[in-house]
Amino acid sequence: MHLEHQSHGFIALGPMHQAFAKLTGLAALAIAMLLGAFAALAFAPFHLSVALLVSFTGLIWMIDGARGHRRWGRAIFARGWAFGFGYFLISMYWTAEPFLVEPEKHLVFIWMPLLLLPGGMALIWGTACAMAGTFWSQSPSRVFVFPVFMTLAELVRGHLFGGFPWNLAGTTWIPGGALSQAASIGGVYWLTLITIFAMGSVAALVDLRDDRSMVNRVLPAALSIVIVSAGWGWGAQRLQTPLELTEQNIVLMDSGVPQAEKWEIGANEIFGQYVELMESVETIEGDLIVWPEAALPVDLLQSPGSTEAVVSLLRDRKLIIGTRRYTTYQYETPTYYNSLTVLDTNSARSTPLAVYDKHRLVPFGELAPVNFIPFGRAISGILPSALQRQITQGFEPGELGPSAVYVDGLPPFVALICYEGLFPAIPRAVDPRAEWMVLISNDAWFGEGLGPDQHAAQNRYRAIESGLPMVRVASRGQSGIVDGLGRLTVQALPIATTREGWEPSLGRGALPASRPPTLFYRYGLLAFWLTALSMLVLAFLNWRR
Residue pair 186/528 in contact by the 8 Å Cβ criterion: yes
The domain of 373 spans: 361-396
Domain shared by 413 and 380, yes or no: no
Report which of residues 517 and 96 the model is more confident about: 517
The CATH number of the domain holding residue 343 is: 3.60.110.10
Q: How many residues does the chain have?
A: 545
Domain shared by 62 and 86, yes or no: yes
Closest to 302 in 3D by CA, of 264, 351, 262: 351
Confidence of residue 148 (pLDDT cuts 50, 70, 90): very high
Give me the pLDDT at residue 376, please: 46
Domain shared by 489 and 532, yes or no: no
Domain shared by 90 and 145, yes or no: yes
Give me the pLDDT at residue 339, please: 97
Give me the pLDDT at residue 11, please: 59
Confidence of residue 384 (pLDDT cuts 50, 70, 90): very low
State the total domains in the chain: 3
pTM equals 0.93
Distance CA 322, CA 297 (A): 10
Q: Is residue 428 part of a domain?
A: yes
Closest to 290 in 3D by CA, of 322, 326, 335, 331: 322
Residue pair 250/481 in contact by the 8 Å Cβ criterion: yes
Give me the pLDDT at residue 209, please: 58
Distance CA 497, CA 138 (A): 62
Span 54-66, mean pLDDT? 97
Q: Is residue 2 part of a domain?
A: no
Give the Å distances, CA to CA, from 161 to 126, 154, 164, 215, 486: 18, 13, 8, 44, 29
Which residues, at least 6 apart from 78, have a Cβ–Cβ distance to it below 8 Å? 28, 29, 32, 66, 126
Span 429-454, mean pLDDT? 95
Distance CA 389, CA 278 (A): 40
Give me the pLDDT at residue 541, please: 85
Give me the pLDDT at residue 474, please: 98
Question: What percent of the chain shows pLDDT beyond 90?
Answer: 78
Distance CA 414, CA 339 (A): 13
Q: Is residue 519 part of a domain?
A: no
Domain shared by 281 and 184, yes or no: no
Domain shared by 383 and 498, yes or no: no
SS3 assignment for 148-188: HHHHHHHHHHCCHHHCCCCCCHHHHCCCCCCHHHHHHHHHH
pLDDT for residue 355 is more than 80: yes
Q: Is residue 3 part of a domain?
A: no
Residue pair 293/475 in contact by the 8 Å Cβ criterion: yes
Task: Read off the pLDDT of residues 211-261 as tens digits, 9 standing for 90 and up.
Answer: 546 778 899 999 999 999 999 999 999 999 999 999 999 999 999 999 989
Radius of gyration of the chain (CA): 25
Over the chain, what is the mean pLDDT? 91
* Cis, peptide link before residue 411, omega less than 30° from 0: no
Residue pair 72/132 in contact by the 8 Å Cβ criterion: no
Distance CA 277, CA 291 (A): 11
Domain shared by 214 and 269, yes or no: no
Other C-beta atoms closer than 10 Å to the C-beta of 378 total 9
One-letter amino acid identity for 248?
Answer: Q
Residue pair 334/454 in contact by the 8 Å Cβ criterion: no
Distance CA 277, CA 155 (A): 42
Q: Is residue 196 part of a domain?
A: yes
Q: Is residue 288 part of a domain?
A: yes
Other C-beta atoms closer than 10 Å to the C-beta of 115 total 12
Question: What percent of the chain shows pLDDT beyond 70?
Answer: 91
Task: Read off the pLDDT of residues 401-440 as tens digits, 9 standing for 90 and up.
Answer: 998 999 999 999 999 999 999 999 999 999 999 999 999 9
Confidence of residue 513 (pLDDT cuts 50, 70, 90): very high
Domain shared by 197 and 294, yes or no: no
Q: Is residue 369 part of a domain?
A: yes
Domain shared by 318 and 382, yes or no: no
Confidence of residue 328 (pLDDT cuts 50, 70, 90): confident
